[in-house]
């Protein structure tokens, strides 16, 4: 398998993961809507108040704090996805220009990308299920 096929394979995997993350974010937003509805009903509905108390116990620092943490991670992931996309586009252009032969320039570009990540102290991120 050549380098270009490897890059396409990785890009497809990343796009699938990005789609899954997008779906989880939609679920998260749906939960936010449900929580807002519970807050609105809590004055007159004991069941809604009980659910809000359970949520408060589950998130002692506050749900807003957890929401902010999740959104910060989403922003981070978006930045990393854009960076990866740019790096893969550069690699794809080099691969196309060289006719699929690979070469030293490709290795140099990959090394430069790795060095840039090391300079920026970019750590490998793990996607967690926050829902």
Give the pLDDT score at 113: 53
Cβ neighbours of residue 65 under 8 Å, at least 6 residues apart?
59
* pLDDT tens-digit profile, the chain (131 residues): 577 787 778 878 888 888 888 888 888 889 889 989 999 999 999 999 999 889 888 878 877 787 788 888 888 888 888 888 888 788 778 777 776 554 555 455 555 555 555 444 444 444 443 33
Inter-CA distances, 19 with 25, 76, 123, Å? 10, 16, 22
CA distance 47 to 53: 10
CA distance 120 to 22: 26
Give the pLDDT score at 46: 93
Give the pLDDT score at 40: 94
Give the pLDDT score at 126: 44
pTM over 0.85: no
């Amino acid at each position: 398998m050549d380098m270009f096929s490897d890059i396409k394979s990785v890009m497809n995997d990343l796009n699938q993961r990005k789609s899954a993350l997008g779906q989880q974010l939609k679920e998260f937003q749906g939960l936010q809507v449900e929580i807002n509805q519970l807050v609105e009903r809590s004055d007159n509905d004991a069941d809604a108040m009980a659910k809000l108390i359970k949520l408060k116990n589950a998130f002692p620092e506050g749900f807003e704090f957890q929401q902010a943490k999740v959104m910060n991670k989403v922003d981070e992931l978006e930045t990393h996805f854009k960076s990866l996309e740019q790096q893969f586009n550069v690699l794809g252009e080099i691969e196309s220009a060289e006719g699929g032969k690979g070469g030293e320039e490709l290795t140099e570009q990959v090394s430069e990308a790795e060095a840039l990540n090391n300079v920026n102290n970019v750590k490998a991120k793990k996607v967690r299920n926050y829902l």
